[in-house]
Amino acid sequence: MSAKGKENKPHIGIFGRRNNGKSSLINALTGQETAIVSEVPGTTTDPVKKSMEIPGIGAVVLLDTAGIDDLGELGLKRIGKSLDALKTIDLGILLITGNQFGEEEKQLITAFNEQEVPFIIIHNKSDIQALKPELARELVNTCKTKVLDFSALQHPDLTELIEIIRLKIPESACKSAVLVGDLISYGDVVLLITPIDIEAPEGRMILPQVQVIRDVLDHDGIAVVCKEREVDTLIRTLNPRPKLVVTDSQVFPKADASIPKDIMLTSFSVVLARQKGTFEDYLKGTPTISKLNDGDKVLILESCSHHVSCDDIGRVKLPRWISNFTGKQLHFQVVPGLDKLPDDLSSFSLVVQCGGCVITRKQVQNRIRQAIQAGIPVTNYGMTIAYVHGIYNRAIAPFTRGSDQSIDYL
């Protein structure tokens, strides 16, 4: 199973040397034989994930990684995968045993700090050898984190460990930012336009639609859902009128024509851009579309693995819409799932990130940060679609009212 999680939950990574009890810790936390436990060093090769509930935090994903002291060419690749996981996690747990704290642990802590990942240190197998007070003091002073003496195999009391995790994991990882709730008041109607086409999952709605419905209800609003074909009739008859309309980006032009201009209109993808991306960077980057030239390369970042249809949004529609809008001969490259980005981002003129509905806010931001640090403009699917269809100013207006963010690009 890939280390690059696709669950929209806080991710906690378990790191340490081979045979330090990482898998045993996972099993202790989950209360079941989730990970394979063996006395043979190197049993865990690729990172393994397990979802569970932690009191006071909620649903999380635990990530069991390969040993940071793995050997040989294959071992180095395993270590590389473990370090790649730092880009996806919200909290790190470093396991040490036998009072051993050496260069491998120091390098890992440096990596934690570079990726801005909060972490705790657990001295495991305390039933065999207890944590020395002098090492505990040294680690607290140098690493600025809590150190817990622990035994994952001795039916441990998890109360203290869970409390430490609860205190250390960032609040932003556990609580979803508001989607549209800050735009409405008690009793306001929010209309959701949700096409049911070939890309719609069988028998259910896509995650952003479900999340917006829940956010509306959480903020005492009224959610009304329809397909694009029913919009005109509904707008004429619906009373009270919608305070806000959220549409699937692919029917933006239809929604823009049907929804009166005095009603706020945006898309699910723009909503996600504000919730999960770095919205200000998207606002700066989107107008770059008008500056693209013949031969420029555009990188499109998906965040989930899915069946590619003949009219796929990221691989077919976006390239077509951007090319038609600019009138330029452009080159498009797609990175699927959460695969590694190209090593040389400097060759790209624009990066277009999907909404990221199935991954965490940190995973989205770590991904686009690489482009931002390379000086490459970034935008997202919904904002791009709005821009190339001439609806950009209206689509971002609900989130930029009172600021000078409108673009004169037509």
Query: How high is the pLDDT of residue 58?
Result: 79
Question: Which residues lie across from 45 on neighbouring strands?
Answer: none
CA distance 49 to 302: 21
Where is average pLDDT lowest: 66-70, 156-160, 180-184, 388-392?
156-160
* Res 279 pLDDT > 60: yes
CA distance 385 to 401: 20
* Res 1 pLDDT > 50: no
* Res 371 pLDDT > 60: yes
Is 322:289 a contact under the CB 8 Å cutoff? yes
Mean pLDDT of 278-287: 93
Mean pLDDT of 382-406: 87
* Res 40 pLDDT > 50: no
Tell me the whole-structure pTM to 2 decimals.
0.66
pLDDT for 105-140, tens place per residue?
999 999 999 888 999 999 999 999 999 999 999 999
Query: How high is the pLDDT of residue 376?
Result: 95
Residues 6+ apart with CB under 8 A from 34: 23, 26, 27, 48, 50, 62, 64
222: tokens are 């009224």
**3-class secondary-structure state, position 53:** strand
Q: Which amino acid is at 383?
A: M
Q: What residue ranges define each of the domains in the chain, with the CATH number in brackets? A: 11-174 (3.40.50.300), 181-271 (3.40.50.11420), 276-400 (3.40.50.11410)
Query: How high is the pLDDT of residue 303?
Result: 78
Q: How confident is the model at residue 173 (pLDDT cuts 50, 70, 90)?
A: low
125: tokens are 């197998």
Residue 10: alpha-carbon gap to chain centroid: 9
pLDDT for 295-327, tens place per residue?
999 999 987 655 555 568 888 999 999 999 999
Tally the residues of the chain: 410
* Res 79 pLDDT > 60: yes
Task: Give rounded-to-5 percent helix, strand, coil for the chain.
Answer: 40, 15, 40
Residues 6+ apart with CB under 8 A from 65: 3, 13, 14, 15, 22, 44, 47, 81, 82, 85
Query: How high is the pLDDT of residue 6?
Result: 42
Give the single-character DSSP code of 296.
Answer: -
| Average pLDDT for the chain | 86
* Res 51 pLDDT > 90: no
Query: How high is the pLDDT of residue 88?
Result: 82
Mean pLDDT of 99-103: 94
Where is average pLDDT lowest: 43-47, 71-75, 236-240?
43-47
* Res 46 pLDDT > 60: no
Mean pLDDT of 272-288: 90
